[in-house]
Structure 1
Amino acid sequence: MQATAVLNVLKAVEETFGEAGQELVRKAINQAGYEAMKGFLESSSFPDDLSEIELASYVVTGINTVLYASLERPWIESENRCAFDILWCPHQDRYTAFDCRVQRFFVEGMFHAIDDSGMGRITAWVEKLIPRGAECCHFVVERTGESDGKNPWHAYSEELMRRAIQKLSKPKHPSDG
């Protein structure tokens, strides 16, 4: 699977080049996510009568089923929030929960493309993951309005990036010192 190859590249670059290499891979994956979402939006049509959160949910369904080839169950929670469960993911038997972080970079690029398209700003967070033993991956998506601050999705990605670098500095075995 290409996603596993990308994860292996990220891990190797982190180990060899540290934070600078990690940021380089992040930007490359962001660009791929941006291009994929831009192409998806340009080649898609959406019903005119959708509310903003319905449109966001519609787009997220496209992300999940077209760009990720995952099976999902979506729903609207409020005028500013929708959610979905990933019922099956092509990575679920290969990734650890921490490995899922590589997908965040792709989503960052997609969020940038959505912002640039004028469709409104959204963020998301993960509440359950299959690799952690959950039956499904559960995500919440929320409209953030016109806020100029850092998207919380991106901020948490940076926290996971720090953790990855910290893991490299820890001995792999207690006997390693």
Structure 2
Amino acid sequence: MTEEEKQNYFCHTHTNLFSQSKCHNCYRGMCHTCLHNNPTICPDCVRTRFLAGDQYKNQKEISYMLSIGAGVALLFHIYQCYTISGIYTSFNFLESLLYVFLGSLTAISAYYMYSEVTIILEISKIPFIGGKLALLLILISLVIGIPLLYLLYKIVVFIKHSLFS
């Protein structure tokens, strides 16, 4: 049997099983196991889409995160201008402005990060302590700054995809 016939009749991922359907993305064969996991796209394409992400979605999320962070920092700046005289001579103002900007970036990045991850939903289903444990996990990740790493990851994926595509 030639390699082309194998691709037509057998699953790309599970080479010992017959294909039941074709992937809508790469048109390779998919067996019943692959169809059970995702009926339209093979596991390789799912993995590729998850790692690369949708370029438009990444761009939109990055612009929302940065604009909301800048908006909150601007509101803080306006508030501080009306409450403190001689604001620009103080280094503490610039430091607190940076903290507000990073804090708002962390909060909005956490929103986008946890909207994609189902672990919080699964943890919250634990009887009795699930909701408190999920809230504790979110608060710890906010304090540590994990959502900022998510924002940096999104920026790197966006730049990598735009440069190499």
Instruction: Give your verdict on TM over 0.5.
Output: no
Structure with greater helix percent: 2
Structure with greater strand percent: 1
TM-score (norm 2): 0.31
If you compute each CA radius of gyration, which structure gives the higher value, 1 or 2? 2
TM-score (norm 1): 0.30
